[in-house]
Structure 1
Amino acid sequence: MTFPPLREELRGLEPYGAPQLDVPVQLNVNENPYPPSDAVVADVATAVAEATRTLNRYPDREFVELRTALAGYLGHGVTPEQVWAANGSNEVMLQLLQAFGGPGRSALSFAPTYSMYPEYARDSNTAWVQGKREDDFGLDLDRARAVVLEQRPSVVLLPSPNNPTGTALPPEAVTVLCEAVGDEGIVVVDEAYGEFRREGTPSALELLPRHRNLVVSRTMSKAFALAGARLGYLAADPAICDAIRVVRLPYHLSAVTQAVALAALRHAPELLGRVDQLRQERDLTVSWLREQGLQVADSDANFCLFGTYPDRHAVWRGLLDRGVLIREVGPDGWLRVSIGTAPEMAAFKQALAETMAATRAETMAGTEEGQP
């Protein structure tokens, strides 16, 4: 027996994580580049100080005040009984797989998609089934429905906007798959980047009254610029929230986490004030990339996927050598860049232009050397 006595299917695997490198421009993990204001910092500090006075006691296990505030923020008639929260949307997803997946059950998504989904399935002993997206990274609804009817998954994971492509789903896609799954499972629409949707792109929250098997998840890490606080949440039928309680760890949301999230929600208009600016910067970036002759996926998120390159790692390395860190993720040949401040995006464009020029020069030199 090899020590440590790890589960056999976990041997040799590397833990998930994007590179954490100290470079001037970090555009690789889809963070909001704008830190909280002094007013938000002061309110959070006061809230944490008050919570600290009670740290000798366990926090509110049901986090009623936070669920009420989250319901108010979501709108669409969502009630506190329909809200659940955990330490980041990652824990929300894992709890869903623990409750509705497991041995003898399967989870399904459509690739390319968020690379953590199969890990949630693995960690909960849930079989992983992967369908395919179309060339434009959308879904052919007839094919998607056929895959669901054939595989009968217990959990369908639909990120909208999708990561890493930024593609948003139309409402009819959610309805088709909810109806295909029926009462045998749940459909999770992961709206981690939902606040960045382009105008006219609806939220799946609008469909909650129609589909009791629908779950819509969100996070405060992106639009709220609160990645360091680790607060994810969902809206669903109260029966789904009650089911998650069975698998949650006791007192899983600390008093400090609850206090920080409540303070942030009090400042929601201010914290979300940069969203329009980031949308505009995203659209400018998409246009610029296309002007360079690159393919770019239509994006409703705070990032964009672009390519394609015969050797994407060389391009990624060229950017890193120039002080810009992006993400080497997605289908072969593609790269993903998070949307930062205007100066950060200017640095990215300059670094990419220089890298592409250097690559072209090397290619031409190699071609000339090979000539007789």
Structure 2
Amino acid sequence: MTPSTQPAALPEHSYGGAPAAEQVHNNQHVNAVTNSTVPGRPDEALAELHAVVGRIAANVEKVIVGKPDVVRVALVTLLAEGHLLVEDVPGVGKTSLAKALARSIDCTVSRIQFTPDLLPSDITGVSIYNRQDNDFEFRPGPVFANIVVGDEINRASPKTQSALLECMEEHQVTVDGQTYPLGAPFMVIATQNPIEMEGTYALPEAQRDRFTSRVSIGYPDPAAELAMVDEHAGHDPMADLRPVSDAEMVLKLVHVVRRVHLSPEIRRYAVELVGATRRLPELRLGASPRATLHLVRAARAQAALAGRDFVVPDDVHAVAVPVLAHRLVLTAEAQAARRSATDLVRNLLQRVPVPHAALDPTAQFLHNVNPNNHR
């Protein structure tokens, strides 16, 4: 490996990070260091990550037109070993995003259509009596897959929704006192309609907290919608999608992300940012310690997508809203004032001081020379 080799460049439109105004502090330092020769940089691993993720993004964007930021959050969640919640009104491509991402990876995929009469055993599996063996045998449910697509998850009852709690957090299923491990990687991509829609149930707080991030696709702009009409009118692009990676490669990329360096300053910044949500008078419930873990994992994945083996504050800013906003529960007064959790998180990003020591990545690169320093 040649230390001066630069990672392959990612398509910028697919991996937009924090807004340009938030990156002013970092750009000069990053450019100065990445253009020099620094020993110990995992260039080959990052270059491979760029190539694989770029292929997956290009595949997904054949179906989801004009939404590169949404695709970026989905890929960050995948690399952060998390679960994705896609929330929006009907018809904007929620299920298409989940299916396109699942079809881009050669792994086991299952789909669960959540309905009011769905039972927990329809998800996890059930023990059936085998008359030949005179014993019960376990029939695995659709949750036993690498990628589980849960369509309209909030149309099922809270009892059924809670069947995913153990799966999402512990990657295992317990039925009749017997525990069955789930395969790796394991990712739940769930779609839901806004809770104001008829026939929907709000997700329990415990389950919302297990989703690493939430995205809202939104309506496409006129140019993107026109392109969608031109490309989708004659045929379904979903039918043409072919896998461009596999489960083994995704696990390899996950290990690359795990080795991205997280400085003590960034760790404290993440803790202070999450802790600040618990002190906001507009909230009945702030972000949990699990949210802190999800935030730093997503920031590591964002840094890897940006071609760095260390995390800077801009990485935290880029993932803060999708990782934190859906966990916050507003007070009745805040709801009446039409405040939103997204606005509160953005205000916190402006108010919580950014650690200046974390703005200079030179120390991070030198720290990475010793592999024992990776956490």
TM-score with structure 2 setting the length: 0.30
